[in-house]
Amino acid sequence: MTNNDSFTEKLRSAGLRPTKQRLQICRLLFDRNETFHFTISDISKTLKSQNYGKLSLATIYNTIHSFKKKGYLKEISINSDKSYFDTNTSNHHHFLDEKTNELVDLPINDVGDVKIKKSLPGKKIKSIEVLVKVENNY
């Protein structure tokens, strides 16, 4: 199966029609060796800089959120107005460089056991992910 076939299937399984624009988004997100973190703004700027033609912010937003809903992407909310998306959907932790806004994976074995002493009635813990905010020390 070619990447284009794989991307078409991924789009269809997320409930999206495989348009030229959405295939371009797929290629940018999933046609790479390494996982990566991005904001919707990052993706929009990258697509524009690579001359992908006319691509609306709404198409990018809807495609990213459909992928998230399907489980192809993970959303990491930093605060009320900043969210990153991650192509690595496994349970893992992150470093956030507050000066550069760079988000970097922190392998799960690099963090000791996290103990939660409080529970919420009627809720079950699905996963625990640690966000470590760092700043330059010089």
pLDDT tens-digit series, residues 85-133: 999 998 889 999 988 888 999 888 888 888 888 888 898 888 888 888 8
Residues 22 and 66 in one domain: yes
Question: Based on the domain organization, do 52 and 114 belong to the same domain?
Answer: no
Domain of 119, in residue numbers: 91-134
18-53 pLDDT, tens digit per residue, is: 999 999 999 999 999 988 999 999 999 998 888 767
Whether the Cβ atoms of residue 93 and residue 108 lie closer than 8 Å to each other: yes
Same domain, 104 and 68: no
* 17 and 72 together in one domain: yes
- Closest listed residue to residue 23, CA positions, set 39, 45, 40, 47: 47
Measured CA to CA, the distance from residue 134 to residue 138 in angstroms comes to: 12
* 66 and 37 co-located in one domain: yes
Query: What Å distances lie between residue 106 and 32, 39, 50, 95, 112, CA to CA?
Result: 20, 18, 30, 6, 12
Pick from 49, 63, 61: which is nearest to 20 by CA? 63
Split into its structural domains, the chain has a count of: 2
